[in-house]
Each structure stands twice: as structure tokens, then as C-alpha cells.
Amino acid sequence: MILIVDFGSQFNQLIARRVRENEVYCQIEPAGHSLDKIKALNPDGIILSGGPASIYEENSPSIDPGIFKLGIPVLGICYGMHFMIQALGGKIARPVKREYGFATLKIKNIFETISNTPESINNTSQKTKNAHEETNEQNSLSLFKGMDSSFQCWMSHGDSTENLPDNFVVTASTENTEIAAIADVKNRLFGLQFHPEVEHTINGTAMIKNFLFDVCHCKKSWNMESFANGAIAQIKEAVQDKKVIMGLSGGVDSSVAALLIHKAIGKNLHCIFVDNGLLRKNEKENLEKSLTANLDMNISFVDKRKKFLDALKDVTDPEKKRKEIGRLFIEVFEAEAAKIEGADFLGQGTLYPDIIESKSAFGGPTSIIKSHHNVGGLPEKMNLKLIEPLQLLFKDEVRKLGIELGLNEDMVWRQPFPGPGLAIRIMGAVSEKRLSILREADALLLEEIRQAGLYRELWQSFAVLLPIKSVGVMGDKRTYDSCIAIRAVNSKDAMTADWARLPHDLLAKISNRIINEVDGVNRVVFDITSKPPGTIEWE
């Protein structure tokens, strides 16, 4: 088991994801845990996450520095490395140059670094011989084993190391950061100034793998079958003969969560599908067929399109849209849930990216990025206990779980669709006319993406209706119509994403079809922004 200490990084669950990819179990725990509790968890290794704070600030997050004397391997990432350095007698300071984004990491040879220190130069020949005998062990414990001498990494820090504690050596540098990675091989303590967990860092996954198996000597023992069996057993024990109600969207998250709960309690699960008028073309009809045919559950379909559109008529601010949609959903959901007698639990298909972007997940100081998610607005007055069986999983893990549970592939591979629906893909006011334009454009886009064989390859692909009009010429006439933006991204977890390099011929075909077939559109553009710095959705 690997213990991940949450110092507030937006990416701390990405670290857990990288650990789980290697079939190693891990737990994320808040920084405030006592040394006794850490010992009781009996981890094979500890990873200290990054975080937004500076180590020298008052009330910066910390953990008992006794963890470095337990004989347990520790990997500190960014702020986690700063904490380790300061706790062991080193110094962190704010440099003249900060470093954000891509950087070239240059790896240093550990033994060469050690042998060139003043202490090693003054060593006796016997000490030098002993040092040489330790070379193989040192190299085997290097996080950079088997890697090129330089490659790309992802930096995000305003502070840097000024002085190292005793026994540490520098193992990698960048142009702006001399101390980009450190190691105390003897005590199995390692630090990385950059983020190995994000996809932008080449070899980042391999570094974590080296830490797990070469340093911590972990064994592979965790997979989706064991997760499913454990989750079903936990749900059975918690719910027993009571009822669970659940808002079902038809997306992969809520469908997998519903199926997992259904396998635990059967017909005691009651699902509610709310048509808010913000769905994609033919969404309700397709979902009604697939859900009732494939899941064999108690599902109530509720039509509240007019209620939502009336409430959104003059709302243009993105956060107000999300909050208004969330408020109305809760209002409708409460009314429908009240019709189900004996319900004590509320089921949700919340994933970890939802949680970490909405609130601090495990007691850590993570910043809130956006509001409306499943976790963001449930009223206390519902007086229901919450069941979120997927809250530790990422989207690709949920898909694996869906396949493990027997969910059909069409549902398992549905691209993510936001809870607020098309409302946050319409920049500005939401109206039936603007929804109609976006629905048609989006349907054409997805049709061409599927025909090109790219639907499963892409994390998301969708159309966005912009709040501007531009001049065009159609049929020798001047037009002044709307603009559609195409958004297509590649990602594994939505925490980071890169814009998809769609073939130019495909983009040309999509553009031509939207302009020719969607009344009211005369211009199509393609979004080439990654996350970060942008987000996947426009609002």
C-alpha cells in the first residue's frame, strides 16, 4: 500500500491514478494525520503531494517530520519536496525566476555526483572502494533508471531549493532550476520539483513505477474486479434492505454507478431521469431505449424542459448558469424523490475529478476551481445518506469497471457530457433557437467524428455556440450569422488535456456540413487550447 499525503495539489489524485495503473493499492489522506495513524496504516511507501502554499508561509500544510525516520521510502513532489527539505534542515526560498510549463530535464549520474563531493574526495581508499560497491544499488534505486539523459518535464513552482539537507544530492536540473530532483539513496528519500504525474512530463509514469517497485518493493494486487467486489459488499452492508434514489443522466458515470448499486441491492434502487431541455439531439429518446433495455432498473422519466429554459432566459454568467441549473435540478429531484417511500440513501456517479475541482476532497487545502458538480449543492433537508461508489476513480477506470460489470459498449464509451448540458456550451443567453442551432451543429460534428473512427480515441468532441456574429457571403448574399467553435481534446482523466490534431480534411468536411446544413451559422473555428491553461469546456 502507498500512502499519498494531500498537501492541496490539484493533481494529487493523478498521483493515485498513476499508482493504481500499476495495480498497486493506495490511499490519499490529509496532511494532519498523526505519526501513530501513519504507522497504523503500515504503508510500503509515502508520496507527499504538491500544493499551492509556500513552505515558509504561516500555517502552511505539514505533517509530522517523524515520517522520514520510519524507514519507509518517501517521494516528495513539488511542495512535498519543499516540505521534506525544510523538515530535514535544508532551505527553500523564492528565486528571481519562477518556472511554469514545459522544461527540459537533464539527468545527473548519482554515483558521479556523490563521488565528486568534497567529502568523497577526502575519503580513504577503503571508503572509495565501499562507495564503488554501492554503485549498483544506487543506480537501481534511481527514479530515472532506464531513461535518456534529458527529456521534457512539466514545472509549476514559484519557490526553489536554496540549500539541501545532509546526505542529499542533486539528481536532475533544468535551465532555470538547478535543483530539479534530489535523492538520499541510503535512506530512500527522493524529491522532484516537477510533476511526474501529469501527461506533459515524459517518463513521469516510469518514475513512479520505479519508485513503487524498485524503491518500495510493492506487488501488483489491485484491479477493477477487486474494486467491484469490494464496492458491492460495502453497498450491501450500508444499505441492507433500505432504498436508494439516484438521478440518472445516461452518461457512463451515472450508468456505471447505478449498475454497481443495482448489483448490490436490486430493485431497491430507484432512478430519476430529468429532461432539462439542455440535452443533445435525440438524447432523451436514445437514453430511454438503452437504459430501460440494458439496465433493467426502476427509472422515472420527468419532462421539465420549459421550467429550465424559462429560468435561464436572461442568464449569461457561467457560474450563475451552473448554480441555477443545479438549484432547479435539486428542486425537481426533491419533488420526484418525495414520491418514493422509504428511501434513506442518495446515489451519485461522482468521480474524483468532480470532487477535487469542487472542494478539498480528503481534508486537504485544495482550491475550488468551479462550482456545480454532483457534490456542490445537495440540500441538508433531503436528510439522505450519500453513496458515491466511484468517487476514487477516473473516467477510464470507470469504463473498465463498466465492462467488468457487463455494461454494453455503447454506453461504456460515451464521451463525457457536462451536468449543465448545452447551457455551458452556449456562450451568453440560452434560448430554444440557440439550443436548436447548437444541437444540429453538434450532431453533425459527432456524426463525422464517428464516421472517421475517432469517437473512442478522443476524450471529448463537441460544438460550442459563440456569442458573436460575423459577416459572410452565401449564395451571393451578405450574411451576418453565428459562429460555431469545434472543441476536440485527448485526455485520460480530464485533469489535463491536449487539443486533438484532427485531420484537415475532416475539419473541412465538418465545417462545410455545419455551414451548409445548420441555418444561422456562417463561420466555424477550431479551438487549439490545452488544459492547462484552458479548461475543456468553455464555461
Domain of 265: which CATH number? 3.40.50.620
Residue 320 and residue 371 in one domain = yes
All three cell numbers of 258, joined, read 447505478
Choosing from 192, 215, 238, the residue where a domain stops is: 215
Cα 181 to Cα 469: distance, rounded to the nearest angstrom = 50
Secondary structure of 328-376 as H, E, C letters = HHHHHHHHHHCCCCCEEEEECCCCHHHHHCCCCCCCCCCCCCCCCCHHH
Asked if 402 and 411 touch (Cβ cutoff 8 Å), the reply is yes
Domain with 55 in it: 2-215
58 within some domain: yes
Asked if 273 and 287 touch (Cβ cutoff 8 Å), the reply is yes
Distances (CA, A) of 505 to 54, 450, 511: 48, 15, 10
Residue bearing cell 448489483: 263
360 within some domain: yes
CB atoms within 10 A of CB 502: 18
* Element at 249 (helix H, strand E): none
pTM over 0.75, yes/no: no
Residue 256 and residue 203 in one domain = no
Which phi and psi angles does 120 have, rounded to 5°?
Answer: -70, -30
Per-residue tens of pLDDT for the chain, all 539 residues: 999 999 988 788 789 889 988 999 888 888 888 899 999 999 999 999 988 888 888 888 899 999 999 999 999 999 999 999 999 999 988 876 677 788 999 998 765 444 444 444 344 444 444 544 454 455 567 999 999 999 999 888 778 888 999 999 999 999 888 999 999 999 999 999 999 998 889 999 999 999 999 999 999 988 889 889 989 999 999 999 999 999 888 888 988 999 999 999 999 999 999 999 999 998 888 777 776 666 678 888 899 999 999 999 999 999 999 999 989 998 998 899 889 888 889 998 888 666 655 544 444 433 333 444 454 445 455 678 889 999 878 788 899 999 999 888 888 888 989 989 999 999 999 999 999 999 999 999 999 999 999 999 999 999 999 999 999 988 778 899 999 999 999 998 787 899 999 999 999 999 999 999 999 999 999 999 999 899 999 99
Residue bearing cell 441555477: 324
Contacts of 330 (CB under 8 A, 6+ apart): 377, 378, 379
Residue 253 and residue 378 in one domain = yes
Contacts of 227 (CB under 8 A, 6+ apart): 393, 401
User: Which residues are marked as active site?
Assistant: 78, 195, 197
418 within some domain: no
Q: What's the gap between Cα 363 and its chain centre?
A: 17
Which phi and psi angles does 508 have, rounded to 5°?
Answer: -65, -40
Residue 34 and residue 175 in one domain = yes
User: The CATH number of the domain where 477 resides is what?
Assistant: 3.30.300.10
Residue 114 and residue 164 in one domain = yes
Residue 298 and residue 375 in one domain = yes
Residue bearing cell 531549493: 161
Choosing from 215, 244, 268, the residue where a domain stops is: 215
- H helix runs in 49-193, sequence order: 79-87, 110-115, 118-121, 125-133, 135-140
Which phi and psi angles does 307 have, rounded to 5°?
Answer: -60, -45
537 within some domain: no
Residue 260 and residue 305 in one domain = yes
Contacts of 389 (CB under 8 A, 6+ apart): 231, 234, 235, 257, 260, 261, 347
Residue bearing cell 531513461: 147
Q: What's the gap between Cα 165 and its chain centre?
A: 33
Residue 290 and residue 385 in one domain = yes
Choosing from 387, 412, 437, the residue where a domain stops is: 412
Residue 139 and residue 229 in one domain = no
All three cell numbers of 294, joined, read 440494458
The number of domains in the chain is 3
195 within some domain: yes
Residue 180 and residue 256 in one domain = no
534 within some domain: no
Asked if 321 and 312 touch (Cβ cutoff 8 Å), the reply is yes
Residue bearing cell 435525440: 282
